[in-house]
Amino acid sequence: MPESLPASVLDLAPVLPVVVLQDAADAVPLARALVAGGLPAIEVTLRTPAALAGLRAIAEGVPGAVPGAGTVITPEQVAGCVAAGARFLVSPGWTDGLLTAMTSAGVPFLPGVSTASEVVALLERGVSEMKFFPAQAAGGTAYLRSLAGPLPRARFCPTGGITPESAPEYLNLPNVGCVGGSWMVPSDAVAAGDWPRIERLAREAATLGARR
């Protein structure tokens, strides 16, 4: 288990980069660029064969990074992610089995929700920090604003369709701790190894929280 865990994923930075690694060799320089730009929390999605190796490389080789695993959708994936160095877990949705596995993993996690009923069900189970996904398609800021009144204990990381232009509106909501996005890690920049560009985009994203 990781030695140092964040108390809350939502409070590490205003933006949580969502990273899809095609090549594990890109993981360390990519993570270094994000950390240098002020975004220490990095969600490595389990969408490619390179994900776990990349996650492990970040955990072992990038001081200051807080690597996590995203797109966690089965209980079986949880232990492997933590063993690879994940210091938090993110899922697009949840089931009882997945929630049990994440709760038992010993690291913070953000189960995905898109309806009020799912939020209430998680609150009933003692979980108050969640991923709101897919944010734009599920109602965006208007939906989250409507949840703040009746469900004030729930806090969210909206992800899905968020842009640098729309992120500040999300971050101004009282029930949003951070937003998830991939605009600061464009695939062409990663493929070209343009780490200075990624650092610049990360630095710009890190300032979005100052607009609250």
Catalytic residues: 43, 131
- Residue pair 123/94 in contact (Cβ under 8 Å)? The answer is no
Do 45 and 20 meet the contact criterion of CB atoms below 8 Å apart?
yes
Phi (first) and psi of residue 148, to 5 degrees: -60, -35
Helix (DSSP H) and strand (DSSP E) numbers for the chain: 9, 9
The b-or-e profile of 47-70 (16+ CB within 10 A means b, else e) is ebebbbbbbbbbbeebeebbbbbb
Report how far Cα 44 is from the mean position of its chain's Cα atoms: 8
Q: Decide if 160 contacts 133 (C-beta within 8 A).
A: yes
Residue 84 DSSP code: T
- Spatial separation of the C-alpha atoms in residues 76 and 40, rounded to whole Å: 26
